[in-house]
Amino acid sequence: MNNNSLHKSKEDKNSLIANFKKSDPIQQKLDNAEARITLLEQKCIHKDKILAVLAHDLRSPLSSISGLISVFEGKDAQRELESHVAELKTQLISVNELMNNLLRWASRSFDDNCTNRVTNIDAASILKLNLELLKIIAREKDIQLINTITGPLELFANQDQVDIILRNLLLNAVKFTGTGGTITVCSKVHCSNTEITITDTGVGMSQQQLAKLFSNTHFSNYGTSGEKGFGLGLLLCKEYLDYNNGSITITSELNKGTAITIKLPTAVGNN
């Protein structure tokens, strides 16, 4: 028997086995059960991710409000309250909007039709909200927030995911920038894509740390005020950028700072 005959015989055998499995009701039930188990495992992983994002993104803004309220304690509380009430009101409005956005994202995340829904969005308004959320935290560290984006910045992407991406990148910048530092946000619009760059004068990273950022190697760093970070935010940013046909580039120098550039499709009709 030649090689061609052996190969044909093997193909026939595999075909018979496959057909038998398809016609066997027990095998079909086993296949369906395995598919359901796989789906449930994926949903559990997704649920854990949602809880991690909710906890991560709400912790810093709520902590900043708690810190501001503590200023009101003491004999001069009334005067301090009067001087900060407008700022506190702005922060509460921003945190309330953040919570609504996160809850909307969480509920949509379990709907496959919504998870990957992309539309024309204005990234400038998303940045403005998140910079407002970080204003008190930045002021506590005497960090200057500079936003050079003056007009609309229209992208074709999933709004909830872009919101999470930008908030995580800004939180990281504040976390790893020391007292008296600066964080600058700028953008460049090209025909088919738009770049947003967040640059800080923080602690920076070594080449070894940069190499680990998007690998499976787990590591944690502490911010300049002892804030703990596990790099989970950056991994989530990378995942969501991939979903939106985007990319991320990071350049950094130890003790000098970091520049993170994300690239996303420009809004349809703008290119």
Q: What is the CATH number of domain 34-265?
A: 3.30.565.10
Per the model's pLDDT, the better-predicted residue between 224 and 249 turns out to be: 249
User: Which of 177, 161, 181 has the alpha carbon at shortest distance from 248?
Assistant: 161
Least confident piece of the model among 93-102, 182-191, 194-203, 250-259:
93-102
Confidence at residue 196, expressed as pLDDT on a 0 to 100 scale: 98
Q: Is the pLDDT of residue 92 over 50?
A: yes
Q: Is the pLDDT of residue 117 over 60?
A: yes
Q: In this structure, what token pair is assigned to residue 48? A: 């854990």
pTM above 0.75, yes or no: no
Per the model's pLDDT, the better-predicted residue between 231 and 56 turns out to be: 56
Least confident piece of the model among 34-38, 44-48, 154-158, 184-188:
44-48
Distance of alpha carbon 251 from alpha carbon 259, whole angstroms? 5
Q: What's the rounded mean pLDDT across residues 73-100?
A: 65
Confidence at residue 189, expressed as pLDDT on a 0 to 100 scale: 94
Per the model's pLDDT, the better-predicted residue between 220 and 50 turns out to be: 50
Q: Is the pLDDT of residue 241 over 90?
A: yes
Q: Is the pLDDT of residue 239 over 50?
A: yes
Q: What's the rounded mean pLDDT across residues 216-231?
A: 53
Q: Is the pLDDT of residue 54 over 80?
A: no
CA dihedral 157, 159, 162, 163 (to 10 degrees): 170
Confidence at residue 20, expressed as pLDDT on a 0 to 100 scale: 55
**CA-based Rg of the chain, rounded to a whole angstrom?**
25
Confidence at residue 164, expressed as pLDDT on a 0 to 100 scale: 86
One-letter amino acid of 145: L
Per the model's pLDDT, the better-predicted residue between 131 and 107 turns out to be: 131
Q: Is the pLDDT of residue 72 over 70?
A: no
**pLDDT more than 70, % of the chain:** 58
Distances (CA, A) of 82 to 74, 87, 140, 226: 14, 10, 19, 31
Confidence at residue 38, expressed as pLDDT on a 0 to 100 scale: 77
Q: What's the rounded mean pLDDT across residues 200-213?
A: 89
Q: Is the pLDDT of residue 230 over 90?
A: no
